[in-house]
Amino acid sequence: MPMSKKFFIIATVMMVIAILGSLFYWFKRHDNEIVGSDAVILNQPIIKWQKITITESDQNIAMYIRAPRIIISNNYRVDNEVNQAITRHIESLKDDFISAVSTAAEDNGETNILNVETGVLLATPRLISLAFTTIEHLAGVNDNEPEWTFIIFDLIKGELMVENNELFRDDIAWSRAVKMMKNYLLADYQGDPSCDLFFAPKYKGFAASCIGIDRSRRGEHLSITGDISMSMIQEFLAPSVLSDIIQ
């Protein structure tokens, strides 16, 4: 066999292998929606609890915080991101409280108390959904209703959900769901509420809160909480999220 013919056969075989390889990769990517061949498959998160107590005698402050530490054994980076997001959220709650103590509380010897209790609403290999119940007591000030705030972490993307729209089919579904949840929470409220909706998925439904003011009561603080059933929210949800919430 002449040298040029051999070279031609080898080149053709290599080209066929390359084309088949590309086609295999292309089908894999588009049929199964796998972005990378090394897709992240995380272990079920392990949750450990920590109690933090902070006291500041200068301002008569006591803060009691119960927060989870999330352990994802096979991905240190995601593990770190989740715990940083939890820390940032708690820091933000602490900052708000300390600022309110500085400018609203009275110096009457009473202790200003912040209580943050964290609940795990959902913990799957894909989602971590946490609810923070904040109860504050400021010296000399009437206590507000407890506030419910949330964070949702997408473990696959390794990032915090910002507006939580990733949970829904599309932006329109997100907007409709937001309106539906807000209307549901405020349905029986007597007054003139103006509030912002916060929500997060939980087992077979959503937890939601609306925090703001009541204009009919001289702009007093308003915090309404409630659960949204699966039957109400299901039609808006992204299929990929459904299994996490239902299972």
Partner 1 sequence: MIKIVQLKLSKIKYSGDSIGRDIRVEIEVLGRFLRIDKRIKAGTTVEIDREVGRFETDRGLFQAETLITVIERDLLFNDVGSAKGSVKINTAIIKPQQFVFEIQVRESRSLLSRLFWGKRTAIFEVTLEAQIGEIERYTPDTEDGWLVTQTSQGERVSLPAYITVHPKSIKNGREYFIPSEGTYRGELLSVPLKDDNSSYLISNVKHESMISAKYSISEKVFTLNGKKYKAIDYPEVPWEKGIYDIGIPDYPHGSNNTYTEAIRQKVWFPINFENARYLHVGARSAGCMTIIETTRWMEIYNALIKARKGDFKNVGVLKVID
d(CA 69, CA 83): 6
Residue 126 vs 221, nearer CB to partner 1: 221
Our CB check for partner 1 shows the closer of 106 and 227 to be 106
186-190: Cβ within 8 A, 24+ apart: 186/210, 186/224, 189/224
Q: CB-wise, 22 or 84, nearer to partner 1? A: 84
Grouping H, G, I as helix, E, B as strand and the rest as coil, residue 238 is coil
Minimum distance, C-beta of residue 13 to partner 1, in the bound complex (Å): 51
Q: How many whole angstroms separate alpha carbon 212 and alpha carbon 94?
A: 19
Rounded CA separation 45/122 (Å): 10
Q: In the complex, what is the shortest distance from the CB of residue 193 to partner 1, in angstroms, rounded to a whole number?
A: 9
Binding residues for partner 1 (CB under 8 A): 88-89, 91-92, 95-96, 99-100, 102-107, 138, 140-142, 144, 149, 162-163, 165, 171-172, 174-176, 178-179, 194, 196, 212-213, 215, 218-221
To partner 1, the closest distance from the beta carbon of 211 in angstroms equals 9
Angstrom distance (rounded) from CA 51 to CA 56: 17
Nearer to partner 1 by Cβ, of 143 and 227: the residue is: 143
The least CB distance from residue 179 to partner 1, in Å, is 6
Phi, psi of 235 (to 5 degrees): -65, -20
Nearer to partner 1, 55 or 92 (CB): 92
